[in-house]
Structure 1
Amino acid sequence: MTTDETAAVDALERLGLSNYEAKVFIALQTLGTGTARDVYRVSEIPRSQVYGAAENLAERGLVEVQHSTPMQYRPVSLEEAERLLEERFEQERTQAFDYLTEVRDHHEPDGEEREDIWSVNGAEHVGDRIEHMVRDAERRVVFGARATNLVSTSLREALTDAANAGIDVVIVSEDAEVRALFEDDPLAVHAPPENLRNERAARMLVIDDRAVLLSVRGDEDDREAAFWSDSSGFATVLVEILTGWIETSVR
């Protein structure tokens, strides 16, 4: 198979088809109409497996069967196939998350306070976590970044939206270019003093008086690791420390 065909098979598998079903469907799109022998000739599927895969595709509504001798198979249009696969994916997604919601709602705390500290790896995932936390803020957001490549467009929009919603938003960065990103926005922008700068620090976030995130960068641009905590004793203490540091840095 070509690289593109392999990628297409992988994508169809992620949408719920088996490997053989995906290959048969692609083969039939190439043929238009064909028998099991025709499919076997243009694909890498054992002929004995073509029949079962084609029947499964027919049950899914993706293939039409002509009961002749030999049987002929014809794929539905790509538009119809896309619609059917989207509907199936949505049904599976709904079923899975309905169950997960039920499990979560039936969870009963054991009465002990938990000190939950979570880790996130990878610059993109760290950015997603920061953006999610910013959008959950109610009163105050303090965000720090070492460089502009750590401030995505969507993250900047989340910070600006929070400020426009009346939330107290403070940006702290030693990088003048980072500070310049927010010059025209309705939020406070500050540079930390020299003695409080750290070359390994990447991003920092404080949300209200309950949540905190700190990250460091590795040698490569996407090697970022962070830990965060929300509504825990650990987060409360660290928020107090960071808030004191921030108030000192902007005087």
Structure 2
Amino acid sequence: MTDADEGNGNAQPSEHEAIEALEHLGLSNYAARVFVALQRLGVGTAKEIHDVAGVPRSQVYGAAEELESLGLVELQQSTPKRYRSVSLDAAHRCLAENLQNEANRAFNYLEAARAERTAGETRDDVWTIRGHEPVNNRVIELVEQSQERVLFAAPSLLFVTDDLVKALRERAANNVDVRVVSESADVRDRFETVPDVSASGPDEEPPVDFTGRVLLVDRRVVLLSVVPNVPGSDETAIWSADTAMADILSQIIEGGIESMIGF
């Protein structure tokens, strides 16, 4: 291994790390150790696997059955029984599919749990988000929920991600009135080729030097963010939906923006 390998993260993982990674993919410790041992053996009996993997011989059978049930190992009905691993490409596909299935199961339940909560949920709240990426995610989620109108304002491309552009394009294609406001020509140019999205700039320089973004959705949702002019500071946002505060702020902000750009 070269110094360059160590510096760029291309170092070969150890057997312990490989076993740990297989455990993260859903295998038990014994199953992971048996699977690794079979890569060395090619084909092996329980005794041979025990000798290589260090797994108690009585536990090899259960671990092999676990691997077989996952489609990772084939069994030869001989005396003694012999085991061999499927190809690594096939194993990779099996583990990836199993992991995706487990993720789907978990999130299907979580979605159902959230749906049950919605009926009794109160919306009289103002929420705070800290961090540029979490704010990005919330903006996109709120845009995706729009039904009638979206007004998005930002001073630079720092606040305009590809995922946001995609979300705004999709809502515009679904007959949502989408408007983007920015003093930055780069931001306006970013939306120049996006169908049905109107991008405008103020007639005059904004009255305050503001670094952050504004999102209004359907005149019932408002999100405001700010990035302090201090080195190392991160973006912080507040947002509210279906509240008196959201209603009042939406009217004030939309009125101010319209007066600046002549909507």
Query: Are residue 96 (structure 1) and residue 86 (structure 2) matched?
Result: no
Shift of 1:113: 4.4
- Code of the aligned partner of 1:148: L
Query: Are residue 62 (structure 1) and residue 72 (structure 2) matched?
Result: yes
Give the 3-state SS of the residue equivalent to 2:83 in structure 1.
strand
Query: Are residue 180 (structure 1) and residue 189 (structure 2) matched?
Result: yes
Query: Are residue 244 (structure 1) and residue 252 (structure 2) matched?
Result: no
User: What does 1:119-198 correspond to in 2, within 5 Å?
Assistant: 119-185=128-194, 186=196, 187-191=198-202, 193-198=205-210
Query: Are residue 48 (structure 1) and residue 22 (structure 2) matched?
Result: no
Within 1, Cα distance between the matches of 2:138 and 2:17?
29
Contact 2:127 2:238 in 1 (8 A): yes
Contact 2:123 2:242 in 1 (8 A): no
For residues 141-196 of structure 1, the C-alpha deviation after alignment (integer angstroms, 9 at most, x for no partner) is 11122321321223223223333443222222232221221234441312373313
- Code of the aligned partner of 2:144: R
Contact 1:182 1:189 in 2 (8 A): no
**Pairwise CA RMSD of aligned residues?**
3.5
Within 2, Cα distance between the matches of 1:36 and 1:174?
71
Within 2, Cα distance between the matches of 1:60 and 1:83?
11
Q: Which residue of 2 aligns with 1:213?
A: 223
For residues 192-225 of structure 1, the C-alpha deviation after alignment (integer angstroms, 9 at most, x for no partner) is 7331331xx322211111112222336459x433
Within 2, Cα distance between the matches of 1:150 and 1:9?
41
- Code of the aligned partner of 1:181: R
Unaligned runs of 5+ in 2: 1-10
Q: Alignment identity in percent?
A: 40
The number of residues matched between the two structures is: 245
- Code of the aligned partner of 2:163: S
Range 230-239 or range 82-91, more displaced: 82-91
For residues 10-55 of structure 1, the C-alpha deviation after alignment (integer angstroms, 9 at most, x for no partner) is 654443223443344244234422456765777xx64338725444
Within 1, Cα distance between the matches of 2:16 and 2:185?
46
